[in-house]
Amino acid sequence: MATVFYFLPKDAKLTEEEKAELAALKDRPITYDEECPPMSEEELDELDYLIRKYKTRRITKEILMAEFPERFQKHKSEAAG
């Protein structure tokens, strides 16, 4: 089971309703679909590496191409083929 973390600004003022919503989500399972499939341990490790290296939560296609060019060469040759 995956662990989900959420971060709030230090000065965040939550209403009682918002606190109850967050508390209710703690026991709710994570659901996956075609647009957001579960990730393998290897994919999670790669994502963690990129987040730490680039100090960003948004991993762009350019970052992926710079770090893993072999993945994109494969797709390019398939498209030409």
Q: Is the dihedral of CA 47, 53, 55, 56 positive or negative?
A: negative
Residue 5 has pLDDT above 80, yes or no: no
User: Cβ distance 6 to 22 under 8 Å?
Assistant: yes
In a domain, 31, yes or no: yes
Domain that holds residue 53: 16-80
- For 16-54, how does the pLDDT look when each residue is reduced to its tens digit (9 = 90+)? 998 898 888 888 888 889 888 998 999 899 989 999 999
- Structural domains of the chain, count: 1
pTM of the model: 0.50
In a domain, 30, yes or no: yes
Q: How far apart are CA 38 and CA 41, in angstroms?
A: 10
**Predicted local confidence at residue 9, as pLDDT:** 83
**Predicted local confidence at residue 45, as pLDDT:** 92
